[in-house]
Amino acid sequence: MSDAFEKGLKLRKEVLGEAHVERSMAAADAFTKPVQDLVTEIGWGAFWTRPGLTRKERSLITLGILAALGRSHELSVHVKGAVNNGCTAEEIREALIHAGCYAGLPVTLEAVRVAKGVLESLDGAKGG
């Protein structure tokens, strides 16, 4: 495994949670493993580890892009990651509202619905 893969795997686990990443990697088969490897090495090991933006800033940008693309499953994964990276519920909401300015209000409505569900489940997991 390359250095970028190792760095990417470490960061991916820190942001998305070790259990999520382990499940994703364990579920990979001969067909999907190359995709998991590329996501880890390139997405996390090359893009997410670049200097210039904080993890928090990268999370907020990622939320806006995923909302604009209508990728609700990945959005829910990255809402959890944004919380792990120090984003508040208000910052997450505002990033999603801002995405609506450029991608349309239906994007914001769907994204806020997804994010609210994730944030509520995280609060429930904390006992709050």
Shared domain for 2 and 40, answered yes or no, is yes
Q: How far apart are CA 29 and CA 16, in angstroms?
A: 21
pLDDT in tens, 54-94: 999 999 999 999 999 999 999 999 999 999 999 999 999 99
Q: Which domain holds residue 39?
A: 1-50
Shared domain for 85 and 28, answered yes or no, is no
Shared domain for 115 and 82, answered yes or no, is yes
Residue 107 has pLDDT above 90, yes or no: yes
Shared domain for 43 and 61, answered yes or no, is no
- Stretch 5-12: mean pLDDT, rounded? 97
Q: How far apart are CA 128 and CA 7, in angstroms?
A: 33
Shared domain for 5 and 46, answered yes or no, is yes
pLDDT at 127: 64
Shared domain for 74 and 37, answered yes or no, is no
pLDDT in tens, 108-121: 999 999 999 999 99
Query: Residue 128: helix, strand or coil by DSSP?
Result: coil
Shared domain for 62 and 98, answered yes or no, is yes
